[in-house]
Amino acid sequence: MISVCPHLSFCGSDTKSLAAEPPPSSEATPTVPAAQQALPGQSLQPLANRSGTAAILLPLTGPQAQVGAALLNAAQMALFEVADDSFTLVPIDTKGTPEGAAAAVQTAVSQHAEIILGPLFAAETRAAATVAKPLNLPVVAFTSDRNAVGDGVYTLGFLPGPQAVQVAAYARSTGKSRLAILAPSNEEGQRVAEYLQNDSSTNLYLTSTQYYDPAAADLAPAVKRLVHPDPKTGDVGFDALLLLEGGQKLRNFAAMLSMQGVDPAKVKLLGTMLWADANSGAEPALNGAWFAAPAAAGHADFEVRYLKAFGGKPPRIASLGYDATALAAVLARKAPHDFSAPALTNQTGFAGIDGIFRLLPNGTAERGYAVDEVQRGAEPKEIAPAPTSF
């Protein structure tokens, strides 16, 4: 088995990065031993029963195979940088389907896996859970759907609700006392709005929630329903507005809001991680807007190491493959190794690629987010650092 040194740390004053050592070079790309790999269409051969075995369930074939491969690459980085010979990782293909995920758990059981890492999608996670739960086999998935987790199924996914709370709370700390929400009328939009409504730090100043059909070609009516400037003062009834969009739709909304009378100098536009890849600096109306995002420094370093090892830039989600593997590898070091619920939900938390995180008993991951500010024609600037401990 691959031996490595630094370890995933518990959060606190001595918090360390998940990976302090340089990654393997591209000439020595990390690999999982062939006997442990699940090739498409093949079954794994049984391994000798040993401590600390984790199975990582990924779409290694099918439409999302490229994302699955990147997650596996990141997991292999963690093997080199974090794990020791008390830990074994078994990659298994889910084919990107619920049926494939359920079958993958069965294969994992035959390989003596004691914890499941992945799958990637919500439907896969639910299917995997139906097999894993009766066996008391913990699952640490990558989905961002909080409805797919709980009762021994966890996720490291970036949930939009906590991001929205983080940036809204920051806006309030700067004096923005009236929050409005413009959200798609789908499950995710309604869930984030409810999350804000139920959060004690934001529900006291939530003034308006306007939903829109995400499939609608014309989004202007939703903006007009939300914005009613006072004829005398021009006040629109809120001084902070959360937009749950990214990409071109985000830029379109920002431009329409400006034309409808929302003054960026008076109303702070707020967003989530969706903004990070939205080229938001290209839209003048978004200049100075704020959004929640993981601390950038750790992920930038991860990208450098990934590039050196694999010759390309990883998709944003790849870091979850690293952190899940590192977490399991650290827990495998205990004597005896411990993948129990108390170990996984340690209240101190862990320091990962994207900053601190801890798994909660309800299955979601609590994270420490930074607040970034959109810069016109430039990369966003971090204006409020992510916390370093819980």
pLDDT digits (tens, 9 = 90+) for 170-222: 999 999 989 999 999 998 899 898 888 887 766 568 899 999 999 998 999 99
pLDDT of res. 30: 35
What class does CATH assign to 160-293+370-384? Answer: alpha beta
9-158+296-359 and 160-293+370-384: identical CATH topology: yes
pLDDT of res. 51: 60
* Mean per-residue pLDDT, 152-181: 94
Q: Is the pLDDT of residue 225 over 60?
A: yes
Most confident of 213-222, 321-330, 373-382: 321-330
SS (H, E, C) the chain: CCCCCCCCEECCCCCCCCCCCCCCCHHHCCCCCHHHCCCCCCCCCCCCCCCCEEEEEECCCCCCHHHHHHHHHHHHHHHHHCCCCCCEEEEEECCCCHHHHHHHHHHHHHCCCCEEECCCCHHHHHHHHHHHHHHCCCEEECCCCHHHCCCCEEECCCCHHHHHHHHHHHHHHCCCCCEEEEEECCHHHHHHHHHHHHCCCCHHHEEEEEEECCCCCCCHHHHHHHCCCCCCCCCCCCCEEEECCCHHHHHHHHHHHHHCCCCCCCCEEEECHHHHHCCHHHCHHHCCCEEEECCHHHHHHHHHHHHHHHCCCCCCCHHHHHHHHHHHHHHHCCCCCCCCHHHHCCCCCEEECCEEEEECCCCCEEECCEEEECCCCCCCEEEECCCCCC
pLDDT of res. 87: 93
pLDDT of res. 18: 35
pLDDT of res. 41: 32
Least-confidence region, from 35-39, 158-162, 358-362, 380-384:
35-39
Give residue 12's pLDDT band: very low, low, confident or very high (50, 70, 90).
very low
pLDDT of res. 37: 37
* Mean per-residue pLDDT, 320-331: 96
Q: Is the pLDDT of residue 161 over 50?
A: yes
Q: Is the pLDDT of residue 349 over 70?
A: yes
Least-confidence region, from 22-31, 99-108, 239-248, 334-343:
22-31
* Mean per-residue pLDDT, 228-255: 93
What ranges do the domains of the chain cover? 9-158+296-359, 160-293+370-384
Fold of 9-158+296-359: Rossmann fold (3.40.50)
347 contact partners, CB below 8 Å, separation of at least 6: 358, 390
pTM exceeding the 0.85 threshold for the entire prediction: no
pLDDT of res. 40: 35
Q: Are 384 and 170 in contact (CB under 8 A)?
A: yes
* Mean per-residue pLDDT, 325-353: 93
Q: Per residue in 32-91, pLDDT tens?
A: 433 333 333 333 333 344 468 999 999 999 999 999 999 999 999 999 999 988 899 999
Question: Mean pLDDT for the chain?
Answer: 86
pLDDT of res. 204: 62
